[in-house]
Structure 1
């Protein structure tokens, strides 16, 4: 991201979006802050307001406050979605009083076990906010991190009681070994509750640099796998790649001793999403044409769907042909955004 080219449009879009809440219809996530950051990061900052105009009907007012979150009561407020505004206020104060990386480092290990909340959009939004701040520290970007962390804290949702199965040496092999949940469960939360078995992978990694390398491998594998397995659920299986990529984006802003735990949490999230939405079998798929990264992003923007844009954003981070093919597969399978 060239910050000199993106800051004005991105700042304006974030300020516009911070009057809206992080959810709509009671639980669905507001993707707009994530999408405008992704567009700005890939040379499409001039399109952010036009895209927000198309998405505008999906925005709801920011929720009401209940009671302040404090250093004494935050544990009781963790995971309470009624406290979204209270948590956002808390992180706004925290990031006003200290450098944003210090606030992130304090709260990351507290929030990491609950990254399943909001269908993993909570950590994904944080990952986008961190990337924007790494490109340039502007006030609306700090505010966006406060909103993202507040959303994560309010929707914090751990998963426990999952039996560990044998994994494979590679991330792709271990994703292939993930058993699907029993059929009949509707909705993310019910499906997540049905995840009872997941294979282990990279659970012996403690070295930070190895953790980064394995996390990069996981993001690549999950993105590649979307090209052949995304038809299981074209929207939700995007998160098997975008959630671990959000964690990967945050690593450089975190203390190195948090990198290995971040890898383990990212694997569990990616594997859980795979279990929840895995198709019965893979399909062979070849894109109709080989396009450049810029052309693929232009296709995603023209399509407009928020998950398509965010998977394309991750695919461009990887940059190889199969990753770009996965993004085109998402374009093909998803309903376009219509204003």
Structure 2
């Protein structure tokens, strides 16, 4: 039943584009409904989708053909998202989805900032559904649309090099410098990273991961660090800073579908991207502790925060709460659940 609800929701969203409005805001619908279904709120999907669809634009039409001979020149061209969607639909009809994902994850990884990381997040959510056994025409089309968005909006961040220091993700995030001018759009903020004192040293100061299990652990720790720092720093940019947690979480959950030789590059790319967003948007000083919410104290605090997120209705709150609940389940840290309540307070319903 739940799989049918997810498939139907995906089909409704596949008539829409990955962005909407003059400001090119991201269509979060497919990502949020995957969370609603997986978290036991399938009964809320139809009404939520009906309300969300009202704001969206149609999927842009095709302008030409993308193939193996010319895909590189179409990379990062947002006008060609319809062409990319058609290209990936063909590829997924011809080959198993894991093979297509492996080839294109490697090709798209350098541009993982795409859509302020929404490309990889959208892919990560549908990969979770596929790994759970929900393979269907609708989920494969959703994978095609997620990869198309990532390809069409491909954007790189200044790379600092591979991790080679002694810092765990918590200490590394605390040590990150801030860009001099935390104003303007993503490009203007991240454009200040080159030459920023301490930037490269801190990013490469992350402790390296030598084995697949260490890579998985380092990513999980990064998700936890970003979630907890949303509680203290999320007020600086309530929406943008959500992605410092949800983007590495998307990569973490995609790992089982990827060849292990892609795991270490994925860690480096998403850590660098997370660090860049944090440096660009997190204020230098944390919020006063007395102004922050406490975690719920009931018998099932995870269910509590998830219910509150669903009632709140905002797509960022739903996705971030899903990630925060995972962090709490792994670590037992109440600050993760408090961070989800803080997001709901900072982001309007």
TM-score (norm 2): 0.91
Which residue matches 2:13? 17
Which residue matches 1:260? 264
Q: Go from structure 1 to structure 2 and tell me whether the alpha carbon gap of 1:309 and 1:67 turns closer, same or farther (over 3 Å shift).
A: same
Identify the match of residue 254 of structure 2 among 250, 253, 256.
250
Identify the match of residue 111 of structure 1 among 99, 108, 112.
108
Which residue matches 2:174? 176
Which residue matches 2:335? 322
Which residue matches 1:239? 243
Identify the match of residue 344 of structure 2 among 303, 325, 331.
331
Aligned residues: 332
Report the Cα distance in structure 2 between the residues aligned to 1:316 and 1:184, rounded to whole angstroms.
Answer: 30
In the TM superposition, structure 1's runs of 4+ consecutive aligned residues that sit over 4 Å from their partners are 161-168
Report the Cα distance in structure 1 between the residues aligned to 2:231 and 2:57, rounded to whole angstroms.
Answer: 33
Report deviation, 1:286.
3.7
Report deviation, 1:159.
2.0
Report deviation, 1:201.
4.1
SS of the aligned residue for 2:117 comes to helix
Q: Go from structure 1 to structure 2 and tell me whether the alpha carbon gap of 1:288 and 1:113 turns closer, same or farther (over 3 Å shift).
A: closer
Q: Does 1:214 align with 2:218?
A: yes
Q: Go from structure 1 to structure 2 and tell me whether the alpha carbon gap of 1:165 and 1:181 turns closer, same or farther (over 3 Å shift).
A: farther
Aligned alpha-carbon RMSD (Å): 1.8
Which residue matches 1:28? 25
User: Is the CA contact 1:129–1:144 (under 8 Å) kept in the aligned structure 2?
Assistant: yes
Report deviation, 1:164.
9.4
Which residue matches 2:68? 71
SS of the aligned residue for 1:58 comes to coil
Give unmatched runs, 5+ long, in structure 2: none
Which residue matches 1:152? 150
Identify the match of residue 287 of structure 1 among 262, 276, 294.
294
Give unmatched runs, 5+ long, in structure 1: none
Alignment of 1:78-117 (within 5 A): 78-117=75-114
Q: Go from structure 1 to structure 2 and tell me whether the alpha carbon gap of 1:96 and 1:166 turns closer, same or farther (over 3 Å shift).
A: closer
User: Is the CA contact 2:181–2:189 (under 8 Å) kept in the aligned structure 1?
Assistant: no
Segment drifting more, 165-174 vs 244-253: 165-174
User: Is the CA contact 2:21–2:56 (under 8 Å) kept in the aligned structure 1?
Assistant: no
Which residue matches 1:276? 280
Q: Go from structure 1 to structure 2 and tell me whether the alpha carbon gap of 1:9 and 1:161 turns closer, same or farther (over 3 Å shift).
A: closer
Report deviation, 1:255.
0.5
Which residue matches 1:6? 2
Note the alpha carbon deviations across 1:256-292, whole angstroms, 9 max, x for none.
1111111111111110110111113112124263252
Segment drifting more, 139-148 vs 5-14: 5-14
Report the Cα distance in structure 1 between the residues aligned to 2:163 and 2:35, rounded to whole angstroms.
Answer: 35
Report deviation, 1:163.
8.7
Report the Cα distance in structure 2 between the residues aligned to 1:233 and 1:227, rounded to whole angstroms.
Answer: 12
Report the Cα distance in structure 1 between the residues aligned to 2:41 and 2:176, rounded to whole angstroms.
Answer: 36
Report deviation, 1:167.
6.4
